[in-house]
Amino acid sequence: MAYKPGDKIEVKLDDEILSGTFVPSPESRDDILILKLSSGYNQVIIKTKIKSISLIEKVKPSKKKISTIQQNSSLPKITLLHTGGTIAARIDYKLGAVLSGFITAEELLSLYPDLGKLANVSCRMVSNIASEDMRFGHYNMILEAIKEEIANGAEAIIIPHGTDMMHYTAAALAFGLDNLTTPILLVGSQRSSDRGSSDAYPNLMSAVYFATASDFGGVGICMHYSPSDDICSVIPAFNSRKMHTSRRDAFRPIGRKPYALVNWLDKEIKIISRSYPKKNRQTSVLIKKFDEGLKIGFLKAHPNMYAAEVSAYKNFDGLIIEGTGLGHFPNVKADGLTAENNRIFLSVEKLVSSGAIVFMSPQTIYGRIQMNVYTPLRRIREIGVLGHLSDMTSETAFIKMAYLLSNYTKDEARQMMEQNLKGEISFRLEPEEFLN
């Protein structure tokens, strides 16, 4: 028998009987059952130890009435493509847990009645999962939904999304959408919507205001600019990062300027950089999907590496290596203790020869790869490791490789990895773009 969160159940074990409220366990842990006991503590039970479960009392359905937004058809038509994440989560105080699955698209819309003052809003559920659970197939679902909504007349699309992997999705959409002149903004929150310190409301309102009031027509991320609630920033889809685990102003563009600062309450938009596609009414957006079967790995340079770390990716289509400094990676036998380094070099060479694309990105976060300065870097470039002169973050490089391998031949993908296709590689780092 399936139980719903909030049901009171009795669990019989070999040596005891426990009763409490059923709490959903993480999707990745289908081997456990969680009970909230009368003491308020959660009890984790391994399912193989359970003899029987019986229902004591079913949870009573909520009678909370969902309010609706008063729509104004004369305002810009926007679509909220709901994908999940903390911005769509709330705390169930009875269960003592943050739950995203309890909020439907309609509930999310009802949380923000002021949206009706800015736009004619519709809402569509694409998925309802944590962003760390997303796979390439979810990108394809979002791409399809965007294409359909634009064809149906949406003048802007706002995507509520989990923050942990939001910069990956933003890059995937920017690569996967061609001929785009409709604003697509991903927006998230570090705190759930029902918390007093939640950043969900200003982030979402700022995204909608910027999308409807500016000439922006590309893909971007809208999040807090500072810890306070007054200003949000709109930053590029490429080479942006979540720089803090919990701060509300966690997102920063790397080696780029924000597109704009937005204060939706005062109806102010300060444009910082106009290096974005401009808005234009058109419905012929093209999408390029991701191959859901691709295998692309990450490997971070570190002391005391082993060749086995590289050979672990022998059956992968590609590998992103985060190199130190200008792109350094242990590959030279320098003394009696570094014989393994040459074996690492041979493993990389074998991986490249097998057909995998190996790309170097900077572990330093800021700056670019330069493979012509030091001999060890020239050595790995000569065997086919790519990345020379690139300043892409490893996350953007990962998504770019997946996009290219999904839509082009491997030879074409190799050539295009080091080319600037859509602004993912910059030519110069301005002083104000470092740690800004």
Q: Are residues 188 and 95 in the same domain?
A: yes
- pLDDT tens readout for residues 371-380: 999 999 999 9
Classify residue 140: in a domain, yes or no.
yes
**b/e per residue, 327-340, with b = 16+ CB within 10 A?**
bbbbbbeeeeeeee
Domain boundary (243, 270, 287) is at 287
Q: What pLDDT is stored for residue 97 in this prediction?
A: 56
Q: Are residues 230 and 371 in the same domain?
A: no
Quick one: pLDDT at residue 93?
46
Task: For residue 164, indicate whether it is catalytic.
Answer: yes
Query: Which of 287, 311, 332 is the C-terminal boundary of a domain?
Result: 287
Residue of 147, 181, 212, 242 marked active site:
242
For the chain, residues with pLDDT lower than 50 are 93, 101-102
| Residue 133 belongs to domain with CATH number | 3.40.50.1170
Residue tagged active-site, from 7, 92, 133, 164: 164
Quote the pLDDT of residue 71. Answer: 79
Q: Is 2 domain-assigned?
A: no
**The pLDDT value given to residue 38:** 81
Catalytic annotation present for 86: yes
Residue 212: active-site member: no
Q: Give the pLDDT score at 63.
A: 60
150 lies in the same domain as 231: yes
Across all residues in the chain, what is the average pLDDT?
Answer: 90
Is 375 within a domain?
Answer: yes
pLDDT of res. 104? 56
Helix (H, G, I), strand (E, B) or coil at 46: strand
**pTM of this structure:** 0.84
Choose the catalytic residue: 21, 79, 83, 163: 163
Active-site pick, 83, 86, 181, 396: 86
Whether 15 is a known active-site residue: answer: no
The whole-number pLDDT of residue 158 equals: 96
Q: Are residues 307 and 268 in the same domain?
A: no
63-116, pLDDT tens digit by residue? Answer: 656 556 667 889 999 999 989 877 766 656 455 555 554 455 566 667 778 888
Q: Give Cβ neighbours of residue 242 (< 8 Å, ≥ 6 apart).
A: 163, 164, 166, 167, 250, 251
pLDDT attached to residue 191: 79
The CATH number that applies at residue 300 is: 3.40.50.40
Q: To the nearest whole percent, how much of the chain has pLDDT over 90?
A: 70
- In a domain, residue 127? The reply is yes
pLDDT at site 427? 82
148: Cβ contacts below 8 Å, ≥ 6 apart: none
Domain holding 342, by residue range, is 296-417
